[in-house]
Amino acid sequence: MTIPLEALNPGNPMAGLKRAKEISSPTSFFKIGTCLERTLLRVVNASTLPSTIKILEPNEQAIKKSKSSFRKLLPGGNDILRVFKEFPIPVEASSIHFLKTGLCVGCAEGFGMVNLETMDIMSLLNSTDALLDFVRKGPRDKTPPTAIYRIEDHFLLCYDGEICILCG
């Protein structure tokens, strides 16, 4: 939920709830980051397949203080966050990380990159590499991805069980 800071009143703790707005429900996890030179909030619902990724950005016009009461009559005129992109992915996302122009999605099948400009999806791992068989094991034996870090032109992919792969 979003609540404008000016709505938080220590003398009346319930005042902020009147101006609260639900962003997404249900939500598995969320994170703030920078992508495409914008500050973005990503909200992920991975409780159903496909997972739904909603990317929101601050609505600068709603954040600026305005005395205009006309703006309050417009639908969405007071929304602090607005939808930048929203899309399903055909896997259960366990982690998502912002990159310069897209997202890196971690799932049971490994890591994939989503370009937010073209919405193309590509795998970070070579599916024919025998050293990566632990990623392609049966559903019960999968090693879930936990994090990704960019190191210059490479990516450090981290899996549960202290397994890391440098690719790029």
**pTM higher than 0.95, yes or no?**
no
The DSSP string of 80-143 is: SEEEEEEEEESS-EEEEEE-SSEEEEEETTEEEEEETTT--EEESS-TT-GGGGGGSS-TTT--
The tens digit of pLDDT for each residue in 28-41 reads: 888 899 999 999 99
Q: Cα separations (Å) of 21 from 8, 73, 76, 148?
A: 14, 16, 11, 32
DSSP state of 6: G
Element (H, E) at 148: strand 145-151
Residue 92, domain extent: 5-167
DSSP state of 12: B
Q: Give Rg (Cα) of the chain.
A: 19
Amino acid 70: pLDDT: 45
Burial class (CB in 10 A: 0-12, 13-18, 19+), 74: exposed
Tokens representing 17 are: 């709830």
Q: How many domains does the chain have?
A: 1
Q: Cα separations (Å) of 151 from 78, 105, 156, 160?
A: 40, 17, 7, 20
The tens digit of pLDDT for each residue in 13-27 reads: 777 777 778 887 888
Average pLDDT, the chain: 77
Label residue 17 left, alpha or beta by phi (over 0 means left) and psi (-120 to 50 means alpha): alpha
The tens digit of pLDDT for each residue in 140-165 reads: 556 677 788 888 888 888 877 667 76
